């Protein structure tokens, strides 16, 4: 068929427009409307039963109903969450593989040489929960406020006050506290907080930063003294206990939290839809109520807000670890 002069003149414009059409954006289309086209896997890189696992299962059902696709929750525990997180980092960035991670995501970079980059290799969807820590001591410890604790540590000299630590933020929070208070405390390692509790009660170790849900029963029974909580606001379960920020150290905050992430490179339209839909699912009244029983505050955030939050956590905990002389070890 002969090519007319008008067709020849129009050809460059059509060729220039072709990349835009290839992106799937047509007039009046809904960005991300073709997503999901199959099951969306939600990886939880921890053992079943924790807050991250509970959150994932609570939001999976409403998401599946909204999307018309299954949302299976898959526990891939191991190496403090690194194994399951690596699976997500290496998955296809189309939004069909997600993870629900905890504060361990940025904190792990302080302790391990990771098989992925904490920021570069992920898309950040939304925060889901925050759970503050509480600074506790045995009932016989001769300090009842953070200021008294610091005064005791300074009077006794470096290392005179001991703190129980497990891993992650529960180990780093007392280090950050000590650095800002300009004191030195002796770290006593435990495999888990339940192993540390008897020694705290008996006075064999002085203080501990623990999650509010883990310590609450001992505080209520009088076995522990709650010196302060570490959230931005007072914990609902401990309304008479001041935050560390208001009691002694303005700006101090340390929490465990949950977050939905995916592999780097998820298209913006899909990422926006994921953030909106996951955020709406986590704010459902039944999900909020269930997390309240766990001592967790339910929250949501945009992808950019989520990214900035992780970057700030990475810098805060990484700096605390470096000042304490912690060197990243090989993961596994």
Q: In this prediction, what percent of the chain has a pLDDT beyond 90?
A: 86
Per-residue pLDDT tens over the stretch 157-210: 999 999 999 889 999 999 999 999 999 999 999 998 999 999 999 999 999 999
**Residue in this structure with the two tokens 């299954």, named with its chain if needed:** 70
Cis peptide before 36 (omega within 30 of 0): yes
Measured over the CA atoms of residue 17, residue 21, residue 25 and residue 26, the dihedral's sign is: positive
Give the pLDDT mean for 272-290.
Answer: 97
Per-residue pLDDT tens over the stretch 303-318: 999 999 999 999 999 9
> Is residue 259 predicted with pLDDT exceeding 80?
yes
- The residues near 323 (Cβ < 8 Å, ≥ 6 apart) are 175, 179
> Is residue 5 predicted with pLDDT exceeding 70?
no
Residues of the chain with CATH 3.40.190.10: 132-247
Domain 132-247 matching CATH 3.40.190.10: the answer reads yes
Tell me if the pTM is above 0.75: yes
Fold designation for 41-131+255-326: D-Maltodextrin-Binding Protein; domain 2 (3.40.190)
Q: For the chain, give the mean pLDDT.
A: 90
pLDDT higher for 231 or 33? Answer: 231
- The residues near 314 (Cβ < 8 Å, ≥ 6 apart) are 106, 109, 118, 119
Least confident of 31-45, 200-214, 225-239: 31-45
**Residue in this structure with the two tokens 């994932």, named with its chain if needed:** 56
Residue 270: half-sphere exposure toward Cβ, Cα within 13 Å: 21
Decide: helix, strand or coil at residue 155.
helix
Burial class (CB in 10 A: 0-12, 13-18, 19+), 331: middle
Residues of the chain with CATH 3.40.190.150: 41-131+255-326
């Amino acid at each position: 068929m002969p090519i007319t002069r008008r067709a020849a003149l129009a050809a460059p414009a059509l060729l220039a427009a072709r990349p835009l059409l290839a992106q799937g954006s047509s007039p009046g289309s809904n960005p991300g409307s073709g997503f999901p086209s199959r099951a969306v896997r939600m990886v939880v890189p921890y053992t079943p039963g924790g807050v991250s696992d509970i959150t994932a299962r609570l939001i999976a059902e409403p998401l599946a109903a909204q999307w018309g696709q299954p949302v299976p929750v898959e526990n891939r525990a191991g190496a403090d969450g690194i194994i399951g997180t690596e699976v997500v980092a290496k998955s296809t960035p189309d939004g069909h593989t997600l993870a629900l991670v905890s504060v361990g995501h940025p904190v792990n970079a302080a302790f391990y040489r990771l098989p992925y980059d904490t920021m570069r290799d992920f898309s950040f969807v939304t925060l889901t929960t925050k759970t503050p820590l509480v600074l506790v001591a045995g009932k016989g410890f001769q300090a009842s406020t953070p200021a008294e604790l610091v005064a005791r540590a300074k009077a006794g000299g470096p290392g005179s006050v001991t703190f129980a630590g497990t891993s992650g933020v529960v180990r780093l929070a007392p280090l950050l506290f000590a650095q800002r208070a300009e004191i030195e405390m002796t770290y006593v390692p435990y495999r888990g907080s339940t192993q540390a509790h008897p020694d705290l009660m008996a006075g064999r170790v002085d203080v501990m930063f623990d999650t509010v849900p883990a310590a609450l029963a001992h505080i209520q029974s009088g076995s522990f003294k709650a010196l302060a909580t570490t959230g931005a606001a007072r914990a609902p379960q401990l309304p008479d206990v001041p935050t560390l920020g208001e009691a002694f150290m303005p700006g101090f905050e340390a929490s465990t939290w949950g977050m939905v992430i995916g592999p780097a490179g998820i298209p913006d339209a899909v990422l926006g839809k994921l953030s909106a839909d996951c955020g709406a699912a986590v704010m459902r009244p039944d999900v909020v109520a269930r997390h309240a029983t766990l001592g967790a505050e339910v929250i949501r955030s945009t992808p950019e807000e989520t990214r900035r939050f992780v970057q700030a956590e990475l810098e805060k905990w990484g700096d605390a670890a470096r000042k304490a002389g912690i060197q990243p070890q090989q993961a596994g």
